Structure 1
Amino acid sequence: MRAGRVDDATCRQAIAAAPLVGALVGGTGALALWGLSALGAPPLLAGLLTVAVLVLVTRGMHVDGLADTVDGLGCYGPPERALAVMRDGGAGPFAVVALVLVLGVQAVSLAEVSADPLVLVLACAVGRAGFVLCCRRGVLSARPEGMGALVAGSQPTWLVAAWWLVLLAAAVAVDWRVALAVAVAAGLLLALTHHVQRRFGGITGDVLGAASELATTTVLVGAALT
């Protein structure tokens, strides 16, 4: 859906509604996983192709954010140097390793949950709830411009808590280990925002993409262990 305008108000609203969009993206992936399994595809092949569908649906924005964030965190120098590396657009060794590991873990986890593809809906919703958590009140932007500057610190505490409590309740209905994975994902994102504020001076749009992939992967791993 096209936005009539792109400003701070529109972006704040988009972040607030991001978990709903995540559920829609997860539903698309769940349909792909179910269809591939129904066609008799081996579980790992179905998992890999479903990951490819998710990347295509999101135009690779979040995996690109993951790659740039890992490269920025892995470089030496002051925050300005790290932000320049992230903006460069190339993929360094840290980015390559991170992408292989994260996408590989997602594919293997999806292979394990192929009998219950709706778990992917929850995982993607939690991933986008990471946007809300990372944009909570008090979180700064690393740059004066860009997506981070429009949304950093924009989400009220009550909304952050509401989304995560709803998703935690949904996870409890699936399995206690999935619920534990949702709680772990929240903890990891709190640690991530603390670290990037110390390392970069705040969040960026790339950090939001990395947060989404980290949270989604954590929930999928928890589901695979059930």
Structure 2
Amino acid sequence: MPIQSFVTDVARAVAFLSRLPVPARFFEGDDGRLSRTVRAFPAAGAVIALPAALLLALLLLLGGAPLLAALMALLLSTLIAGGLHEDGLADAADGLGGGRDRERALAIMKDSRTGSYGVLALIFSLGLRAAALSSLAVALGPFGTGLALIAAASLSRATMLLHWRALPPARTDGVAAGVGLPERFAVRLALGSAVLLAILPMLIAGVSPAALFMALALGFLVEKPFTRLCRRRIGGHTGDTIGATQQLSEIAFLATLALAV
């Protein structure tokens, strides 16, 4: 795998997954499909999470309250990503929770308005991640907690590929259908890099192998029941369900890690 090719894919993945500016030269000859680019999603997740992780560590070093520091870091992370995955979580919750049948569920997901299911999903997503990070701040310290945020961001960007690859597009005109199905080898490479990007920082932070194994396992396994739900309710994936998978994985990893350390 040529390094330059991978760097290009990281840049394209960062542009797709966030609002960070990326030089135009990385998009020369780009057809807009992500079939191969997805191999760089975990690395792009680490890049996207880095500013928030640094802010979290800095606030904790300055004596900031852990919960406040966690919320500020999550706010910055959400702004950098443009609320991409949070929007997917809210829409998926509304559609899967309120849709009586496949057609109604997909119509609700496409609606820009947010319902009660979506609001509750966002509240619990933000609350659980903030609570987990504030707990980790006590157990791992400022830098360890920042590394946990980066590890979660990397892992969750790979978990969403498992959901994406496991199901066909639920609609033919959606964003997920337009960018293509991830290549099998690209997904395997993403999974391998995600595990490394999660294991190495956590070992540096002093997390025990047992706690790390549980967090990794739950971070990946949470995708399975959600994918089965989407298969049964709407017959496939959408951009919203892919984004929701990222959120579920990040929550599962951080919450399990906080409970296990």
TM-score, length-scaled by structure 1: 0.90
1:31 aligns with 2:49: no
Q: Which residue does 2:38 correspond to in 1?
A: 15
Q: Which residue does 1:70 correspond to in 2?
A: 93
Cα separation, partners in 2 of 1:14 and 1:147, compared to 1, 3 Å? farther
Q: Which residue does 1:160 correspond to in 2?
A: 187
Q: Out of 156, 159, 171, which is 1:143 matched to?
A: 171
Note the C-alpha offset of 1:161. 4.0
SS where residue 17 of structure 1 aligns?
helix
Separation in 2, partners of 1:221, 1:152: 32
Structure 1: which 5+ runs fail to align?
none
Summarize the alignment of residues 43-62 of structure 1 with structure 2, pairs less than 5 Å apart: 43-62=66-85
Note the C-alpha offset of 1:194. 2.1
Which of these two proteins has the greater Rg computed from alpha carbons? 2
Separation in 1, partners of 2:128, 2:229: 23
1:188 aligns with 2:222: yes
Q: Which residue does 1:40 correspond to in 2?
A: 63
Moved more, 25-34 or 84-93: 25-34
Superimposed CA distance per residue, residues 43-73 of structure 1 (whole angstroms, 9 cap, x where no aligned partner): 0100111110110010111100000000011
Identical pairs, percent? 33
Separation in 2, partners of 1:84, 1:195: 17
Q: Which residue does 2:106 correspond to in 1?
A: 83
1:221 aligns with 2:255: yes
Separation in 1, partners of 2:133, 2:193: 23
Superimposed CA distance per residue, residues 138-189 of structure 1 (whole angstroms, 9 cap, x where no aligned partner): 5200110222213564230x54344334544543734322321221222211
Superimposed CA distance per residue, residues 69-128 of structure 1 (whole angstroms, 9 cap, x where no aligned partner): 000110132211101101111111111111111101111111122311211111000111
Separation in 2, partners of 1:152, 1:95: 27
Q: Which residue does 1:127 correspond to in 2?
A: 156
- Kept in 1, the 8 Å contact 2:46–2:154? The answer is yes
Separation in 2, partners of 1:89, 1:5: 32
Separation in 2, partners of 1:155, 1:49: 36
Summarize the alignment of residues 107-126 of structure 1 with structure 2, pairs less than 5 Å apart: 107-114=130-137, 115=141, 116=144, 117-126=146-155
- What amino acid does structure 1 have at the position aligned with 2:245? A
Q: Which residue does 1:206 correspond to in 2?
A: 240
| RMSD of aligned alpha carbons | 2.1
SS where residue 250 of structure 2 aligns?
helix
- Kept in 2, the 8 Å contact 1:16–1:132? The answer is no
Structure 2: which 5+ runs fail to align?
1-21
SS where residue 36 of structure 2 aligns?
helix
SS where residue 145 of structure 1 aligns?
coil
